[in-house]
Structure 1
Amino acid sequence: MRTFVDDLLAHAERTPDRTALTTPDGELSYAELGHRITALARTLHAGGARAERVCAVAVTRGADAVVAMAAVLHAGAAFLTLDVEQPPARLAALVRSGGADLLITTAALAERLELPVPGPVVLLDEHADHDHDASPTGPSGPDALAYVSHTSGSTGEPSAVLIEHRGLDSYLRFVARDYGLGPDTVALQVAPLGYDASIRDTFAPLLAGGRLVIVPRGDLLRPESFGAAVRTHGVNTLLSVTPSFLTFLAGQPDPARLLAGVRLAVSSGESLRPFLAAGGRALIDGALVNQYGPTECTMTSTRHRVAGEPDTAADVVGTPVDGVVVRLLDPALAPVPEGTTGEVYIGGVGVARGYRGRPARTAERFVPDPLGPPGSRLYRTGDLAAAGPDGLRYLGRGDRQVKIRGYRVDPAEVEAALLTHARVTGAVVTAATDTQGRVYLVAHVTGALADTTDYELRTHLGRTLPPHLMPRRIERLAELPVNRSGKADRRALAEAGGIR
């Protein structure tokens, strides 16, 4: 099977001297990138990387991460990329749930993280190319496992999502084609490693023969250094910006200067409507695309090109990407009438295999398509939407999950972590919205906490949870309110949280 990695390597043959990567350590040509990918793929293949085996990639942002992910696929295996800035306990949980068999890292990170990977460890700072007898074979077919990503889980443990090559390759080629990426594309890697949007950020520009710019994560979080990176490197494409980040930029002095020269900005992860309603569209001179889609459907399922004078009365997420089917169904899995609200079910090429090691949850969320050909499946998103003249109009969630800074979050995961604190006897986490339309978490806790500070509670959470799962506010209660059934009254708590 020919994959996007083969297309990337073809650029090394046709235009070997063209710059592929710009990093703090210097530039890498397509020839150099191709050589490093094939060399590491040989090492991985000789070490046992094969179809259905998962290689954990635990390296910092930079050329090593790009090479490692591509090399894993070229060797025929699947990758699980980790954000090494997250707590080691969290990374260990991801490795276990993702079923990692091999580990790609550096000597220093291997010692610090101590990840529970049972198979071989390849240290990039000690790796050298050798003439191995075994050559990489690539994936066995379109249904081979390509990567493992994670979603927040109600049990307190993250759920590993299994994505196949058919979905990944189809989606990346769609992005390059539909968004007009090419050799003149200069894209800034914005999404953090370990978040599936980083795969789009990284490989769509390289598939198109463009240049990928990688800067330290801290530079992306400060407006002036972000703007400096855009100007210095001639960045013209942003493939993974969240509405929260755009709103943050819009609040800076002379925000248009920070995005000058950007001809394409692709937003995803949460509602774009508050940003547009605040007049943010004028901040971007080029095209602005609003994307929608869950991790379980290969990053993105629909997209909408936002007009210069956008409709701010609705959250328009548009029409399906190539090979994807979107259905609005009622509880009986029948199509809802035109213009009425239904639950979003997604089918087609991007639907994941399921959740690793969780057959019951897989059966609950991945269901047969009653309107499709035999054997076809739909992913039940839990999102509500209605069809409008310009495509899907997103109307929110039908369950407790929320989007925080682009991440889909189940508050139960935070509740489970809070309850592991010795002095917390009860915990309910709700979502609130601030005056700028940004969603955040509020933790409502009970227990003998008079001598326990918010800092101590957050430090406790920080041992197992990433930053996007950290509550912005912690409310202490004598007892949690309950409804008639005796369950915690989450609605009352959420309404008390209000807008701040």
Structure 2
Amino acid sequence: MNRHSGPPPGQHVELPHDHPVVARVLGGMLLRQARATPDRVAVVTSSGTLTYGELTGRALRIAEAIDDPDRPGRRVAIRLPRGQAQVVALVAAALSRAVQLAVDVSDPAHRTDALLTDFEADLLVTDRATDELRPVVPALRRLLVDERGDLTGPPAGPGAGRPAPAPLSPRGPASPEDVAYCVYTSGTTGAPKAVEITHRGITGRLSWLQEAFGLTPQDRVLYSSSCSFDASIGEVFWPLTAGAQLVVPEPGTRRDPDRLAAVVAEHRVTVLQMVPSLLDLFLLGRRPDERYDGLRLVLAGGERLTPELVRRVHARTSARLFNLYGPSECSVYATSWECPRDPDPEEVLIGAPVAETDLFVLGPDGRPVPDGEPGELYIGGPGVGRGYWRRPDLTASVFLEGLERLEGLEGPAASGGADGPDGPGRRGGRPGRVYRTGDLVRRRPDGLYAHLGRVDRQVKIRGYRIEPGEVEQVISRDRAVRQVAVLPLARGTDTVLAAALVLHPGADPGQAVERIGTLLAGALPGYLRPAVLAPVTELPLNAAGKLDAKNLAERLAATAVQPHMSAGAPPEPARGRPDTEALITKIWQSALKVDGISADQDFFDLGGDSFTALRSIRALERELGRDIDVSVLYAHPTAASLAAALGDDV
């Protein structure tokens, strides 16, 4: 099959609305809805509304200017502020046979230049104000529109001079296997890469959304994500292919919780789809006793959803809350889980695979791992993207073309997927094609999946392989914890596990540390419990908005009490009174559930952590009748050195 396989050059093709291709091509789904409900309101903005007929009419005029009859699959970038014009342009690109890339106008110009150059854009759809204020790639051909989405002059390029299409009549359809859009994701090398997603992939996800959640004409869906992220694809095109209304807030609203809350209330929004960090911000936008009872559905995805945020959503709304997971490489969504109204949820799962999706959990040897064991997640099905634009080596490393390359894998039944019509692991489209996510998951006996973090975050401490995400998941159950990051921390010549805790305002750090210590002791073995629990004001982020682990480790190392170190041969350790040493070892044996501890053994090597350290110091205080700072134990982690540090005044 050719890369783009539309009709012959210059030929218009009209397909009946019930033709099977219509349901597998994004433009076909949009046109089918517009024909069915031309007078229904489709888009709501602060400046007015657009009906489905008005939206599609304007979009088709732009699509006609975009399309080149001699070159299907033009690469079109859209750079417009959030509003009517942006939505019209996004729909126009979908109605054409173009590959679209949406660029956020707030991105730095040098980044936009780099993306448009890498994307090899043929055409830029923008407005005059944006283009003059923040010019990019001067040589790139422009198609200018006004704030309503109408063309402001003769169309640029090969589309100029051709007659306008009949109302609601598309140019020839794209093929389901053609690329519908690209979205850039950050890479480990620092260079962004463009994921190519086909019409078959994204239309399958939109169909699943409608089957799973059933939008009605009364529903209003908020457009909250940046257009440069793949979540916006679902936010924009799901309501517009289902006959619902898309509510488009003004630029800048998503960063202001009060304005965001006002938009939801004023426009009677019923469906939210947000990343958890934005959802958290949104809930800060009104007084704590106010509720959002107009919301019926909240979809969270793109980041880890914490039990605390689940509790807050349920406390402030009567909406059903779902946690959605999926890499950009797999058409936005891959799994879904409804968060139950549990007053004290212990774990937020990523759930079960969505329609037409296979999941495989494999170990480092490429073989399926048993239920309950952690392994790397591989995703199969027609939602898997074509690969990375102009990055064949990177594509080959994570987009695997055949299940036979995965040793020992015999089909989805091995890890909970479902067989498609073409046999195990094959659902039409691309038989056996899978994407290696780099995410560490665990499949439970009930078939649901838990996300444990990234494979590349695994650390090895004292011979144990540790996944920080597993520890973070437990810590995040505490109501006081807003954010948590677990990472290895150097302590002298040793390495320990540390947890940085961002607490909610008003939370007592000491009480939180005690509770979390108890929580960890009851949920995880000793080697998985952090030796340091450190409340911090914030987690440092890098330029990509992700955790800056190196920066955080340096901060913790600078503030944490370290064991005494000296140059040259270590001196003989100072010793305290034998009865004090004996008292300390007795307390440690009780706290750590370890017998036969000697005075020279390191408390933390024995499995001690922040909680058991605090508990041991409190017990020692009671026995000695004096106050003792817990930091003394971190500086003197053996019974002998601790007894010496406490001195003879005991």
What TM-score, normalized by structure 2, do the two folds share?
A: 0.61
Query: Aligned equivalents of 1:138 and 1:434: distance in 2?
Result: 54
How far off its partner does 1:29 sit? 1.1
- Post-superposition Cα deviations, 1:325-367, rounded to whole Å, max 9, x if no partner, equal 1111112221111121111111101111111121111111112
Does residue 442 in structure 1 map to residue 499 in structure 2? no
Cα distance in 2 for partners of 1:302, 1:391 equals 9
SS for the counterpart of 2:93 is helix
Relative to structure 1, the CA distance from residue 332 to residue 474 in structure 2 (aligned partners, 3 Å threshold; closer, same or farther) is closer
Q: Does 2:273 match 1:268?
A: no
- Choose 258-267 or 115-124, whichever is displaced more: 115-124
The reply on whether 1:235 has 2:291 as its aligned counterpart is no
Instruction: Give the C-alpha shift of residue 128 in structure 1.
Output: 6.0
Structure 2 residue ranges without an equivalent (≥5):
1-20, 147-151, 405-410, 412-424, 459-467, 470-497, 505-534, 559-650
Distance 1:85 1:433, change over 3 A: farther
Deviation of 1:57 after TM superposition, in Å, equals: 0.3
CA shift digits 1:156-186 (9 cap, x unpaired): 2211111111101111121122111121111
Report the equivalent of 1:75.
Answer: 96
Matched to 1:157, the amino acid is A
1:284 deviates by 2.5
Q: Which amino acid aligns with 1:28?
A: L
Name the structure, 1 or 2, with higher relative contact order (CA <8 Å, separation 6+). Answer: 1
* Structure 1 residue corresponding to 2:115, chosen from 82, 91, 94: 94
Matched, 1:384 2:405: no
User: Helix, strand or coil: the match of 1:434?
Assistant: strand
Counterpart mapping for 1:42-53 below 5 A: 42-46=64-68, 50-51=72-73, 53=74
Does residue 17 of structure 1 match 2:39?
A: yes
2:223 aligned to 175, 189, 192, which one? Answer: 189
Identify if the C-alpha distance between structure 1 residues 231 and 113 changes in structure 2 by more than 3 Å, giving closer, same or farther. Answer: same
In 2, are the aligned partners of 1:81 and 1:194 still within 8 Å (CA)? yes
Assess, with a 3 A threshold, how the Cα gap between structure 1 residues 338 and 400 changes in structure 2: closer, same or farther.
closer
Name the counterpart of 1:31.
53
Q: Is the 8 A contact 1:264 1:288 kept in 2?
A: yes
User: What is the RMSD of the two structures over their aligned residues, measured on CA atoms?
Assistant: 3.3
Say whether residues 1:321 and 2:354 are aligned partners.
Answer: yes
Alpha-carbon distance in 2 for matches of 1:366, 1:230: 39
Shift in Å, 1:33: 0.5
- Work out which of the residue numbers 247, 250, 253 in structure 2 matches 1:213: 247
Cα offset, 1:112, TM superposition: 3.3
* Alignment map for 1:142-161 (pairs within 5 Å): 142-161=176-195
Q: Which residue of 1 aligns with 2:324?
A: 291
**How far apart, in 1, do the equivalents of 2:285 and 2:185 lie?**
32
Note the 1:317-356 alignment, pairs <5 A.
317-356=350-389
TM-score by length of 1: 0.78
Q: Contact 2:261–2:285 at 8 Å: present in 1 too? A: no
Verify: 1:397 aligned to 2:430, yes or no.
no
Asked if 1:132 corresponds to 2:162, the answer is yes
Instruction: Indicate conservation of the 8 Å contact 1:330/1:336, yes or no.
Output: yes
| Alignment check: 8 A CA contact 2:61 2:164 kept | no
Aligned partner of residue 217 in structure 1, secondary structure: coil
Query: Cα distance 1:115–1:441, how it changes in 2: closer, same or farther (>3 A)?
Result: farther
Give the distance between the partners of 2:101 and 2:177, measured in 1 at CA.
17
Counterpart-to-counterpart distance in 2, 1:36 and 1:400: 48
CA distance in 2, matches of 1:340, 1:306: 23
Query: Equivalents in 2 of 1:281, 1:66: separation in Å?
Result: 31
Question: Equivalents in 1 of 2:313, 2:92: separation in Å?
Answer: 40
Aligned twin of 1:486: none
Give the aligned residue type for 1:228: A
The structure whose residues are more often strand, as a share, is 1
Query: How many Å apart are 1:320 and its aligned residue?
Result: 0.9
Q: Does 1:116 align with 2:137?
A: yes
1:90-114 deviation per Cα after TM superposition (whole angstroms, max 9, x unaligned): 1112212223221111122223333
Percent sequence identity over aligned pairs: 34
Query: Which deviations, in whole Å up to 9, do the C-alpha atoms of 1:23-73 show, x marking residues without a partner?
Result: 12211111111111111111111587622x220000010111111122112
- With 351-360 and 138-147 compared, the bigger mean Cα shift is at 138-147
Letter in 1 for 2:380: G
Q: 1:316 & 1:73 partners in 2: Cα distance?
A: 33
Decide whether the 8 Å contact of 2:322 with 2:338 is kept in 1.
yes
Q: Contact 2:257–2:284 at 8 Å: present in 1 too?
A: no
Aligned counterparts of 2:355 and 2:250: Cα–Cα separation in 1: 33
Query: 1:220: Cα distance to partner?
Result: 3.0
The equivalent residue for 2:613 is none
Distance 2:301 2:441 in 1: 16
Structure having the higher Rg = 2
- The letter of the residue matching 1:163 is I
Say which is worse superposed, 197-206 or 103-112, in terms of deviation. 103-112
Out of 29-38 and 219-228, give the one that drifted further.
219-228
The separation in 1 between residues aligned to 2:172 and 2:138, in whole angstroms, is: 23
Q: Which residue of 2 aligns with 1:8?
A: 30
The alpha-carbon distance between structure 1 residues 438 and 308, as it changes in their structure 2 partners (threshold 3 A), is farther
Aligned position for 1:418: none
Q: 2 CA distance for matches of 1:333 and 1:275?
A: 35
